[in-house]
Structure 1
Amino acid sequence: MKINWQSGWVAGAQQLLIPVSNNQGEWIQNLEHIGTQIGVSFKAALEDFKAETGETTVLYGPDCKVFLLGLGREVNFAEVLRAARLFAARQKSKLSTSLGIYLDAALLPADQHIVCIEAMVNGLYLGTYDAGKYKSKSTETHPLATEDAAIEFYLPASVSAKAVAKAVAQGQVIAEAQLGIYDLINAPGNKKQPAHLASFARAAAQRGNFSVRVLEKAELEAEGFYALLGVNQGSAAPPVCIVMEYVPTQEATRTIGLVGKGVTFDTGGISIKPSANMHHMKSDMSGAAAVYGAIEVAARLELPFHLIGITPVTENSVDADSLKPGDVIDSYSGRTIEVTDTDAEGRIILADALSYLVRNYKVDSIVDLATLTGSAARVLGAHAACLFANDDQLAESLALAGEYSGERLWRLPLWDVYKDELKSDVADLRNFSGKPAAGAISAAKFLEVFVDEHPSWAHLDIAGVAYGDVDFLPHKSATAFGVRLLVEWLMGQGDA
C-alpha cells in the first residue's frame, strides 16, 4: 500500500473517506459545507448519520463515492484504529484500490490529527486481513492489500509534514508486523511446530536487521534447560529456545529483556484439557509472537533500545514419555519443580527462559508475556490483561501505554502471602497449587522466583486477550495483543 499526503482538498479522488467526530461543535454544518466543496450533498444522509464510533454512511456524487466514518465523541488512538479496521473489513466489496482520506480541521480535535493519521493507517491495514490462508481456493484479495493500492491524505495546512511522515511509517511498520502475527497465531499446530517459529523469527530478523540464535535440543540439554525439555518429553517435535538481540546503531538508552511463552499447541499433557475448545490451543504461543513482533518493529523503527528477546518453544503433548502429575524436574536455575499439573506448563518453560535471561544478560527491565492462566480471563474477560510487577514505575508506564494503545492492563498484587501456594514437600517448589482461586497470582509468584530478585520485572498474563472474538472476523482469531503495547511502551521510555 502506497501512502501519500498533501495540504487541503484537491479534486480527483473517486473514493473519499471522511472521518467525523460528533464532539466538534457544529459538526453537521461543517460537514454540509465540505459536501458543497466536493460536490456531494450530505443533507439527507445527515438526518440519520450520528457519527458514532464505527458508523459508516455511503454517498454518491457525480464523480466521487464518499464514505462518512464516525469516530464518536472520544477521539483517541484505540477508537480511531478500531473504526478504521471495521471500515476496511466491512466495506471491502465497495472499495477500490485507491482511497482518499479527508481529515478536516473542523471535524476532528486539533491535537489529534497526527494520532488519527497513524491510527487510520494501522487500522486500514489490519482491516484487510484474510484468515483463509489454508483454504484450497484463494479468496478475493482486499482492494487495499493489492500491489497497486494507494491512499492519499488531504490534511489541514497546520499539520507538520515531518510528523505525518513519522506517523505513516509507524502505522505501516506496526501493522505489517501485526498481520504477520495474525497468521502465525491463527496457524494450526501442525503448521507451526517449534522449528516453524524459529524460521519466523529468522525472517523477522532479516526484515529488522537484528540477530537470532536458535538453541536446538542438543544445546538445550548441554545448557541445562531441563524444565523446557521436561514439558517437551511427550512431543515428537523437538523444542527450541529462540534468542533475539537488537542493538541500535545509536547509543542505547536502556537494555530491556522481553520473554514470551511459545507453546505451539497445548493439550494439557496428562492433565488433559476438555476436548470442546482444545482446537483454540494453537494460540498458546501468543506471548512469543508478541515478542517477535515488538522486536521487529523496534528494529525497523530504529528505536534507541538494546533489546533481548527470549522465547522457549515446545508443544505440550500426550505420550508415554510425557511428564506425569507428581513428577519432579530440574530447571536452568538449579531449582527443582514438582509438576502437580502438567497443564500448568507455560510457567515451567518460562522459568528456564527467565533464568537464562537474568544470568546471561544485564538488563534494566524485564517484561514477560504469556497466555498463562484461565484465571486471568475469568478476572478481566477479553478487555484487559493482568499485570504483575515488582517495580511501580514499570507497572505505571506499561499501564499508560496500554491505555493509549487500547491494549489495556490491570494490575494485580504480588503479595508474599501467596508464596505458600508454591510450597512442595518433595521439591523446591510446585507449579500449581490445586486451589480454584487466585490462579493468575500464584502463577506470577512462581515466575517471580526465577527472576532472581531482579528489581524491575513485569509479567503480563494475556490469556483473555490474545485470541478470541474480534469485531472484524466472524470467528475467533488472533489479536496480536502485546505488539502495539510494547512498542508504545518503548517509545515512551526516553528519546524514542
Structure 2
Amino acid sequence: MFAIRLTEASDDAATRVVPIGPDGSSPAGELDAEVHALIKQTDGAGETGRITVLPRPLSRPARVLLAGTGDGDEAGWRAAGAAAIRAAGDDEVLEVLLPASAGEAALRGLAEGLWLGGYRYRDAPKAPRSGEVRIVAAHSPGYAETLTRAQTTAAATWLARDLTNTPSSVKNPEWFAEQIVAAAAERPGMTVTVRAGDELSRFGGLLAVGGGSVSPPRFVELSWNPPGATTHVVLVGKGITFDTGGISIKPRDGMKLMKKDMGGAAAVVAATLGAADLNLPVRVTALTPLAENAISGSAFRPGDVITHYDGTTSENLNSDAEGRIVLADALAYASEQLAPDLVLNLATLTGANAVALGKRTAALYSPDDELAAALAEAGAAAGERMWRLPLVEDYAENLRSDIADRVSAPGGPGSVMAALFLRDFFGGTRWAHLDMSAPSWSESDDADLSKGATGWGARTLLRFLSAPLDGRQKPGA
C-alpha cells in the first residue's frame, strides 16, 4: 500500500485536493479566491465524489482538484478520497486539505477512500501508485489512531481483493491455504491449522464438492485469541476457488467470473488478520472450507446423499448449489468444536441475491434482531450495504427429503432457501448469514470500489468486531 501521512501544508505538492461541501464551503486557504470563482462557474461542484479541475500553469500547486463530499458524512468523504486519488498522477505528491471543522469520521472516510480508490491488483500490468499522499489537518489527539484504523481496514480490503482477483489457474485450495499460513506467520499471537486428506474424513460436504478436482480440498482454521478475551466470534467464509457448477454445469457467462466464488473466505480471513493488526480484545476464528467444484468421473452427482460433519445427511439436488454444502460442514464444526458466542457466515452463495437486491447490496439473514441490527449498522458505517430478508418458516417444508435429513436445493426463493438450509447447522448459537454474491464484484470503478473484486465484507466485519461485543452480543444478552 502507498503511504498516507498527516502533515502541515507545504508549497511543494504538485496537486492539492480541496474538499467542497454541498454549500460550496472549502478550506482553500490562500487559493480561496480562485477556488470560489470556479465553484460559481460549476454546477454541483460539491456533489458526492465529483472532481472539478483547476489548472494553475507555472504556479504551485500546479493543479487543484475540487472534490465533492456531498452531505459531508463519512461515505461522502470516502467517495471524495477515492475520486481524488484516481484523478491524481501515480508518481506525484498529492496534498489533501482537511477542514478544521472536520472530525475523525471525515478523516477516516477520506483516508479509506484514498487507499481503496488507489487499489490495484498486485499482479496487474500497471505499476502501483508510488507518489506521496499528505493529509493537511489541524492536530487532534485521535487522528493518528483514526488513520491507523483506516489503513488497517483498507489493507484488509486490499488483501481480500487480491485473493479474489487471483486467477483460478493459480488459486487452488492448496495455494489459498498457503497464503493464509504465510499471513498468519507475520502476526504474533495468531495460530492456523490446515486440514487435508484423512483429516477431512468427517467433512463429507467438503469432500463431495472437492472430489471432482485434481486439486484436493482444504479446511483452514485461523485464530486470533488475545489474552483476556471473553467473547468468541466465529467467521465462516465460502471458499470455492473455482466453480464450474460441477455436473450441473454453468453456462459460459455464468462461469467466467467464478474465480470470485471464494470471496466470503477472503473477507473472513482478511478481517481476522485485521483484528490481530488492531489488537482487538475479542477472540476471532475464521473457518474457510476450500474446494474447487470441477467436472470429472469422481465429481459428486445430483441425487447423491452427503453425510456432513455433524452426522446429518443432505440429498444433493444440484451440484451448482455447492457452497451451502461445504459451509454446512464448517458451521457444524464450529458448533461442536469451538463453543462460539456467535457465528457469522459470509458467502457468494446465490444469483438470487442480485435479482432481489441489485449489485451493491448483500442479503442479511438472522433470527436474532439485535445481531442483525448490529451488522447492518456496521455495514452502513463501512460503506457496505445489506438488507435483512426473512427466514420464512413455511418454506422450510421444502427442504424435506424422502431419503435424507434434508435436500440441498429444493428450488423456490433461492437465497432464502439457502439460508434456511444453513440454519440447520449452527446448533442454537447466535448466527447470521450474509449472501454477498452480487456486491463481491464491480464492473467498473465506482466510488470506493475498484473494477473487479470489491473485498466485500472485510470492512463490515472489522467495524463489527471493533464495537463493544461483551454483553451486547453475548448469548442471552
Q: Report the TM-score when normalising by structure 2.
A: 0.92
For structure 1, the 5+ residue unaligned runs are: none
Following superposition, the deviation at residue 118 of structure 1 comes to: 1.7
SS of residue matched to 1:378: helix
**Is 1:218 the equivalent of 2:198?**
yes
Letter of the 2:196 counterpart = E
Structure 1 CA distance for aligned equivalents of residues 69 and 6 of structure 2 = 24
Distance 1:44 1:477, change over 3 A: closer
Give the deviation of 1:32 after TM superposition: 6.5
> Alignment partner for residue 355 of structure 2, among 352, 370, 378?
378
What are the residue-to-residue correspondences of 1:65-464 with 2, within 5 Å? Answer: 65-89=62-86, 91-92=87-88, 94=89, 96-105=91-100, 110=101, 112-131=102-121, 133=123, 138-139=125-126, 141-142=127-128, 145-146=129-130, 149-156=131-138, 159-160=139-140, 162-209=141-188, 210-221=190-201, 224-249=202-227, 251-435=228-412, 438-454=413-429, 456-464=430-438
CA offset digits 1:386-417 (Å, max 9, x no partner): 10112111101001111111111111111321
Deviates more, 1:112-121 or 1:9-18: 9-18
How far did residue 6 of structure 1 move? 4.1
1:257-293 deviations in whole A, cap 9, x for unaligned?
1000000001111111111231101100000000111
**Distance of aligned partners of 1:428 and 1:353 in 2 relative to their CA distance in 1, 3 Å threshold:** same
Question: After superposition, what is the alpha-carbon deviation per residue over 1:224-259, rounded to whole angstroms, capped at 9, x for unaligned?
Answer: 11111011111110000000110124x214110100
Corresponding residue for residue 3 of structure 1:
4
**Would the alpha carbon gap of residues 121 and 206 (structure 1) be closer, same or farther in structure 2, given more than 3 Å must change?**
farther
* CA-to-aligned-CA distance 1:295-338 (integer Å, 9 cap, x gap): 01110010110011101000011111111111111111100110
Q: After TM superposition, give the deviation of residue 56 of structure 1 in Å.
A: 1.3
Q: Is the 8 A contact 2:11 2:61 kept in 1?
A: no
User: What displacement does 1:493 show?
Assistant: 2.7
Find the aligned partners of 2:336 and 2:435 in 1 and give their Cα distance.
23
Deviates more, 1:462-471 or 1:321-330: 462-471
| 2:42 partner letter | D
Kindly, what percent of the aligned residue pairs are identical?
A: 35
SS in 1 for 2:186: helix
8 Å contact kept, 1:86–1:471: no
Q: CA deviation at 1:34?
A: 4.4
Take 2:105 and 2:146, find their aligned partners in 1: how far apart are those partners? 8
SS at match of 2:398: helix
- Which residue of the partner structure matches residue 17 of structure 2? 17
2:252 is paired with a residue of what secondary structure?
coil
Equivalent residues of 1:261, 1:285 under 8 A apart: yes
Aligned partners of 1:54 and 1:69 also within 8 Å: no
Letter of the structure 2 residue corresponding to residue 227 of structure 1? G
CA 1:133–1:10: 2 relative to 1, 3 Å: closer
What amino acid sits opposite 2:221 in the alignment? V
1:33: Cα distance to partner? Answer: 5.6
SS of 2:257 mapped into structure 1: helix
Which residue number in structure 1 is paired with residue 473 of structure 2? none
Q: Distance in 1 between matches of 2:180 and 2:270?
A: 9
Q: After the TM superposition, which parts of structure 1 deviate over 6 Å for at least 4 consecutive aligned residues?
A: none
Partner SS for 2:444: coil
CA distance in 1, matches of 2:92, 2:109: 19
Equivalent position amino acid for 2:355 in 1 = R
Give the deviation of 1:208 after TM superposition. Answer: 3.3
Displacement of 1:183 in angstroms is: 1.7
1:209-233 deviation per Cα after TM superposition (whole angstroms, max 9, x unaligned):
3111100122112xx1111101111
- Return the offset for 1:177: 2.1
- Tell me, in whole angstroms, the C-alpha distance in 1 between the residues paired with 2:119 and 2:96: 20
Aligned partner letter, 1:423: R
Tell me which of 49, 52, 66 is aligned to 1:54.
Answer: 49
Inter-CA distance 417–83: structure 2 relative to 1 (3 Å threshold): same
Unaligned runs of 5+ in 2: 471-477
TM-score (norm 1): 0.88
RMSD of aligned Cα (Å): 2.2
Aligned partner of 1:465 in structure 2 is: 439
Partners of 1:203 and 1:78 in 2: CA distance: 33
Aligned to 1:35: 31
